[in-house]
Amino acid sequence: MRLRQPTPLQVAGRGALAGYAGMAVMAVIVKGVQALRGDGGSDGPPDTWEDAEPPAKFAHRVIEGVAQRHVSLDKAGVLNNAMHLIYAPWLGVWYGVVQESVRARTVRHGLTFGGIVWALRLTLNPALKLKEPFWEDTPQRNVIDASFHLAFGLAVAAAYRQLEQR
């Protein structure tokens, strides 16, 4: 039993770190699945911006549309990584705020959180025309993608729990 409630800054800090931990776990799982399937990912930049990963496409649109700066296609990988580095901690902060409010069990909340993050991906990417709707993808790809996001949620929850106990 905790004697004191954490401050909002503590919750945000724990959440951000947990988000980075979740991102790292998800990256390892994605690379492992790619290795098992014999798909090491592309070694070079995509052929077009339409072929880039959704986070890279989004960053490209923002930089070229808002900042009015040209971005070469060889930066797609850097933009993809940068976007993950930006939104993973924010998702973790969101997790921390909700967890401090509802005090759900780690596994249950982690799976729920991962499912919500996956649902956001399924809705936002097509809405922003970054990726085709999930029903146009294969069921196998959807299951694999869901498992990545559920693992992310579990890793965020586990990391947050560990940080909470310090």
Section 20-32 average pLDDT? 96
Q: Using one digit for the tens of pLDDT, what is the confidence trace for 32-73?
A: 998 898 876 666 789 999 999 999 999 999 999 999 999 999
Query: Is pLDDT at 1 greater than 70 in this prediction?
Result: no
pTM here? 0.91
Section 72-93 average pLDDT? 95
Q: Using one digit for the tens of pLDDT, what is the confidence trace for 109-164?
A: 999 999 999 999 999 999 999 999 999 999 999 999 999 999 999 999 999 999 99
pLDDT at site 4: 82
Sign of the alpha-carbon torsion through 46, 50, 55, 60 = positive
The CB-side HSE value for 145 (13 A sphere, CA atoms) comes to 15
pLDDT at site 40: 65
Say how far apart CA 52 and CA 92 lie, in whole Å: 25
92 touches 11 (CB < 8 A)? no
Give the chain's largest Cα–Cα span: 56
pLDDT at site 38: 83
Secondary structure in 3-state letters for the chain: CCCCCCCHHHHHHHHHHHHHHHHHHHHHHHHHHHHHHCCCCCCCCCCCHHHCCHHHHHHHHHHHHCCCCCCCHHHHHHHHHHHHHHHHHHHHHHHHHHHHHHCCCHHHHHHHHHHHHHHHHHHHHHHCCCCCCHHHCCHHHHHHHHHHHHHHHHHHHHHHHHHHCC
